[in-house]
Each structure stands twice: as structure tokens, then as C-alpha cells.
């Protein structure tokens, strides 16, 4: 069985800061990490490999050359091979362009039984890329996977998270699954593998390598235009109440009365 995990390098912050003038993400001074949901996706793939040792787990990313470091982390966690889709032509991609490039990259790699993605990336938060890759590869997709119950010869049984519970879905392979954080606890990099990860060659593909027309990559092929991004102004300073619940409830009522709100 071959499993491919889509992994994205993201700034290490849940609070993305926007440059007020250029309206772009401020990346300076913010270290980059493996997107958290993608770590869960990789862990799920590695757990399948733990039970089925002949499984190959590969990781693929689209990003600038520095994404290699994050890919080496994935190798140190247990991935077998890492692929980086990197080309100036890929820059400025929206989700349509991103998913097209990744889908072409996956086609280049050949047969895959399960493609994993995270539910969403913390710097974009669109949660669109996984399902879009599935659409382009004509694969069935299950989003919000919170548990993998059984991997069978031709299908896989998973729990799909809902707001107030979950549903059990059996999906035929090949398929694409998107992982949520409840799926598992990602393992640490193994010390033994860290050294090997730095010796492992990371395969880099540009648009020609994956047979993708330059006009269909990056900004040029991105219909989404973000006209303005901003961080909301902080609201006034809050006041923390102390004391028993009754004391605090009494204080809140008094304050609401003072403001003539009750
Ligand atoms: C402020 C801001 C607003 C934006 N608004 C929009 C918008 O409205 N519409 C739009 O189309 N784009 C928008 N973009 C661009 C968008 O963030 C990028 O296109 C981004 O690459 C899309 O992925 P995402 O982070 O939303 O991924 P998500 O769809 O949230 O990611 C889901 C999963 O897909 C996989 N994945 C995503 N990107 C990669 C990658 N590069 N390599 C490997 N795997 C990957 C990962 O497994 C990830 O967990 C915006 C960007 C910014 C900075």
C-alpha cells in the first residue's frame, strides 16, 4: 500500500498578523512549522504503516525551497520519501491553483492508495485544498476524519467528525481523507531518523517536471483576489471579576444597571 500525505509549511502562530500597508502576511520573525493538522495526517499514515510494514508513506508539499526543512521533519517522524513542488511560477497561488499543482504532482508520482491532507492550514484556514485535490484526481473524499477504524484490502472505514457526534463512513480506495486534530497525537521525530533525514535526497519538481503549463500555475491561474486583509482593532480592556459565582453575578447585574442595560 502506498500513502501520500500533503504537508504544508506554515508560520508558527494561530494569530496571523497582516501588514497594514501591503495587506500581506507578516512572516518575518515568525518561525515556520509543519501545519498541525498535517502532523495528524502524517501520524495516521504512519500508524497504518506500523500495522502494515510493507506500506510506503511519502510526503509532498508545494512551497519555497525552505519547505525542505519541514519535509526533513516528516522524514524524521517516519516518512519514507519527500517531494517538493517548488518553482517561482507556483508563487501567489490561491486554493484552485494550489490544488491543481499538487494534483499534478501526485499524478507524477503514480499510483497511491490513500492521499491524506490536513483539514485546514493555520495560515489560510480555507479547508479547500484537500477536497479540491480529490476533485481533480477524481477520488472519493472524506473530510474531518477523527478516527480510522479499519483499513481493508479495497476500502477504509473511518469516523467523520460532526458538530455533535460522528458518522461512520466506508470509502473505497484510492481515496482522499482530511485529518482533524482529534485523530491522534503526532509522534516526535526519532533521534535515529533525524540524522538519516538530513542525508535523504528530497526530490524537487518544477512545473515542467509535473507537465503543468506555466499559465495554469500560481498567481496567473488564481481567480481569487484578496483585496484587503486586516487584523481587527482590539476591543477595550476587559475587566476580570473575582469572588464567588454569586458575588460575580451580583457585580455583573449592578454594572448592567449602571449602564441602564437592565
Ligand atoms: C489573508 C489571506 C487570505 C486568503 N484568502 C483566500 C481565499 O479567500 N481564497 C483562496 O483561494 N485563497 C486565499 N488565500 C490563499 C491561500 O491561503 C493559499 O492559496 C493557500 O495555499 C491555500 O491553502 P490554505 O492554506 O487555505 O489550505 P487549506 O485548504 O486550509 O489546507 C488544507 C490542507 O491542504 C494541504 N495543503 C494546503 N496547501 C498545501 C501546500 N502548499 N502543500 C502541500 N499541502 C498543502 C494540507 O494538507 C492542508 O492541511 C489567502 C491567503 C491569505 C494570506
| CA separation for the pair 105, 92 (Å, rounded) | 18
Asked whether 106 lines ligand 1 (CB < 6 A), one says no
Mean pLDDT over residues 168-176, rounded? 98
Does 210 have pLDDT greater than 70? yes
Nearest Cα to Cα of residue 143 among 126, 161, 157, 125: 161
Asked whether 140 lines ligand 1 (CB < 6 A), one says no
* Residue 193 CB neighbour total at 10 angstroms: 17
User: In the chain, what percentage of residues exceed pLDDT 90?
Assistant: 83
Q: What is the pTM of this model?
A: 0.88
Asked whether 94 lines ligand 1 (CB < 6 A), one says yes
Nearest Cα to Cα of residue 61 among 209, 204, 210: 204
Asked whether 216 lines ligand 1 (CB < 6 A), one says no
**Ligand 1: which of 3, 4, 5, 8 to mutate, most ligand atoms within 8 Å of CB?**
8
Does 219 have pLDDT greater than 70? yes
| CA separation for the pair 212, 208 (Å, rounded) | 6
Beta strands at 2-6 and 9-11: parallel, antiparallel or unpaired = unpaired
Asked whether 127 lines ligand 1 (CB < 6 A), one says yes
| CA separation for the pair 50, 203 (Å, rounded) | 24
pLDDT-derived band at 230, boundaries 50, 70, 90: confident
Dist. CA 10 → ligand 1 center (Å): 10
User: Which domains can be identified in the chain, with CATH numbers?
Assistant: 2-221 (3.40.50.620)
Range with the largest mean pLDDT of 175-179, 188-192, 196-200, 255-259: 175-179
pLDDT value, residue 209: 98
Does 20 have pLDDT greater than 80? no
Asked whether 70 lines ligand 1 (CB < 6 A), one says no
Q: Is 125 in contact with 117 (CB distance < 8 Å)?
A: no
Q: How do residues 71-115 score in pLDDT, each as one tens digit?
A: 999 999 999 999 999 999 999 999 999 999 999 999 999 999 999
Q: Using only C-alpha atoms, what is the Rg of the chain?
A: 22
Closest ligand 1 atom number to CA of residue 60: 43
Closest ligand 1 atom number to CA of residue 121: 30
Dist. CA 262 → ligand 1 center (Å): 45
Q: Phi then psi for 167, rounded to 5 degrees? A: -120, 150
Unique residue bearing C-alpha cell 526530490: 203
Q: Is 113 in contact with 2 (CB distance < 8 Å)?
A: yes
Unique residue bearing C-alpha cell 472524506: 142
Does 16 have pLDDT greater than 70? no
Q: Is the dihedral of CA 127, 25, 68, 215 positive or negative?
A: positive
Minimal-distance CA residue to ligand 1 atom 10: 94
SS3 at position 116: strand
Asked whether 9 lines ligand 1 (CB < 6 A), one says no
| CA separation for the pair 115, 117 (Å, rounded) | 7
pLDDT value, residue 172: 98
Written as nine digits, the cell of 259 is 449602564
Mean pLDDT over residues 125-151, rounded? 97
DSSP code for 187: P
pLDDT value, residue 239: 87
pLDDT-derived band at 237, boundaries 50, 70, 90: confident
pLDDT-derived band at 168, boundaries 50, 70, 90: very high
Q: Is 87 in contact with 206 (CB distance < 8 Å)?
A: yes
Does 153 have pLDDT greater than 80? yes
Round the average pLDDT of the chain to a whole number and report it. Answer: 94
Asked whether 39 lines ligand 1 (CB < 6 A), one says no
Closest ligand 1 atom number to CA of residue 94: 19
Amino acid at each position: 500500500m502506498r500513502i501520500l500525505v500533503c504537508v504544508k509549511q506554515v508560520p508558527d502562530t494561530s494569530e496571523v498578523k497582516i501588514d497594514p500597508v501591503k495587506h500581506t502576511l507578516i512572516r518575518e520573525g515568525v518561525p515556520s512549522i509543519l501545519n498541525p493538522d498535517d502532523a495528524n495526517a502524517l501520524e495516521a499514515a504512519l500508524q497504518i504503516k506500523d500495522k502494515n510494514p510493507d506500506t510506503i508513506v511519502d510526503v509532498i508539499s508545494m512551497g519555497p525551497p525552505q519547505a525542505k526543512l519541514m519535509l526533513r521533519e516528516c522524514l524524521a517522524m517516519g516518512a519514507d520519501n519527500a517531494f517538493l513542488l517548488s518553482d517561482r511560477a507556483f508563487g501567489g497561488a490561491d486554493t484552485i491553483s494550489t490544488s491543481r499543482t499538487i494534483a499534478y504532482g501526485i499524478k507524477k508520482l503514480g499510483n497511491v492508495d490513500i492521499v491524506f491532507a490536513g483539514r485546514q492550514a493555520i495560515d489560510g484556514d480555507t479547508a479547500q485544498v484537500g477536497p479540491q485535490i480529490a476533485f481533480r484526481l477524481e477520488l472519493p473524499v472524506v473530510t474531518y476524519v477523527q478516527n480510522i477504524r479499519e483499513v481493508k484490502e479495497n476500502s477504509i472505514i473511518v469516523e467523520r467528525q460532526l458538530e455533535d457526534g460522528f458518522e461512520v463512513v466506508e470509502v473505497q480506495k484510492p481515496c482522499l481523507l482530511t485529518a482533524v486534530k482529534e485523530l491522534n497525537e503526532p509522534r516526535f521525530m526519532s533521534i535515529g531518523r533525524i540524522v538519516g533525514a538530513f542525508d535523504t535526497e528530497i526530490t524537487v519538481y518544477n512545473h515542467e517536471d509535473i507537465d503543468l503549463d506555466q499559465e495554469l500555475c500560481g498567481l496567473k491561474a488564481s481567480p481569487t483576489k484578496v483585496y484587503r486583509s486586516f487584523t481587527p482593532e482590539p476591543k477595550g480592556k476587559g475587566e476580570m471579576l473575582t469572588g464567588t459565582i454569586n458575588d460575580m453575578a451580583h457585580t455583573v447585574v449592578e454594572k448592567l444597571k449602571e449602564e441602564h442595560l437592565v
